Amino acid sequence: MKSTISSTLQERCQGLCELCSTDSAASAYAVSPKNNDVIENEVALCDQCLSILEGKDAGNHWQCLAGSIWNTEPSVLALSYRILYGLKDQDWANELLTSVDFEESVVTWALSAYQVQAVHVDSNGTELQNGDTVVLTQVLNVKGANFMAPKGTVVRKIRLVPDNPEQIEGKVNEQTIVILTKFVRKSA
Ligand SMILES: [Zn+2]
C-alpha cells in the first residue's frame, strides 16, 4: 500500500528514499500487513524502488539494501529484510541477511509476507472459518472473567486468531474470549 508522504515522514527520511538513499522520496509505502495509519509502518520510497517492489525488474538495484539494513527504523529494516529474504539464494543477499543482528519483531514482520495463512481446525479436524458457529465440547473456565461456560454452549460468529491456529475468539456471556480450537466442534 502506498500513499503520499506526510511532513513527519518527509522529515524522518530527509527527502531521500529510505531504501536506496539516492533518489528523492516520492511515496509512503506501508509494510504489510500494517497500513498507512502511522509513519512507523511506512517506508519513504523513490519511484524506482517502488516500481521494483510492484514488479519491475530489479537488475542490481537491491544492492542498495546493504545500506538500508543499518537503518534504525523497524519498518525500513522489515522491508529490507523481506526483499533480501526473497533473494536469499543469491550469495550477496544471504550475506547481508546474516551480517546484521535483526530484532525478532523485525524478522517476524518481514517474514509475515511469506507465511501461509494458518489453518484453524476444530476437535474433529474440520476447518473453521471466520463467522462460523461452534459448540464447546467441554466446560470452559474463563480466566479473568470469573465464569464457566458449560459444555454445549453455542458460540456464534467466531473470529480466527490470525497468528495462532490453536485459538479463536468468540462471545460468551456478552464477553469476547479466546477459546482453544481443540475444545470446540463446528456446528452444522
Ligand atoms: Zn529508492
Question: Ligand 1 center to residue 5 CA distance, Å?
Answer: 14
Distance (angstroms) between ligand 1 centre and the Cα of 144 equals: 49
Cα(51) to centroid of ligand 1, in Å? 9
Mean pLDDT throughout 129-136?
A: 94
Please state, in angstroms and rounded to a whole number, the distance separating the CA atoms of residues 124 and 171: 22
- How many whole angstroms separate alpha carbon 133 and alpha carbon 65? 47
pLDDT at 175 over 90: no
Q: Which domains does the chain have, with CATH numbers?
A: 2-114 (no CATH), 134-186 (2.30.30)
Q: How remote is the CA of residue 151 from the centroid of ligand 1, in Å?
A: 57
Q: What is the pLDDT of residue 134?
A: 97
Nearest to 167 by CA among 114, 102, 118: 118
**Residues 6 or more apart in contact with residue 24 via CB below 8 angstroms:** 15, 16, 17, 46
pLDDT per residue as tens digits for the range 38-92? 999 999 999 999 999 999 999 999 999 999 999 999 999 999 999 999 999 999 9
Q: In whole angstroms, what is the distance from residue 59 CA to residue 140 CA?
A: 56
3-state secondary structure 17-72: CCCCCCCECCEEEECCCCCCCCHHHEEEECHHHHHHHCCCCCCCHHHHHHHHCCCC
Q: Taking all residues of the chain, what is their mean pLDDT, rounded to a whole number?
A: 93
Q: What is the pLDDT of residue 74?
A: 98
Beta bridge partners of 140: 149
Structure confidence by residue, pLDDT tens digits, 21-35 = 999 999 999 999 999
Residue 124 burial by CB count (10 A; 0-12/13-18/19+): exposed, middle or buried?
exposed
Q: Chain centroid to CA 114: how far?
A: 10
2-24 pLDDT, tens digit per residue, is 889 999 999 999 999 999 999 99
**Alpha carbon of 68 to ligand 1 centroid (Å):** 10
How much distance in Å is there from the Cα of 89 to the middle of ligand 1? 23
Q: Whole-structure pTM over 0.85, yes or no?
A: no
Report how far residue 119's alpha carbon sits from residue 130's, in angstroms, rounded to the nearest whole number.
11
Contact 41, 75 (CB under 8 A): yes
CA atoms lying within 13 Å on the CB side of residue 3: 12
Q: Residue 117: its pLDDT value, please? A: 65
What the block records as the C-alpha cell of 42 is 511506512
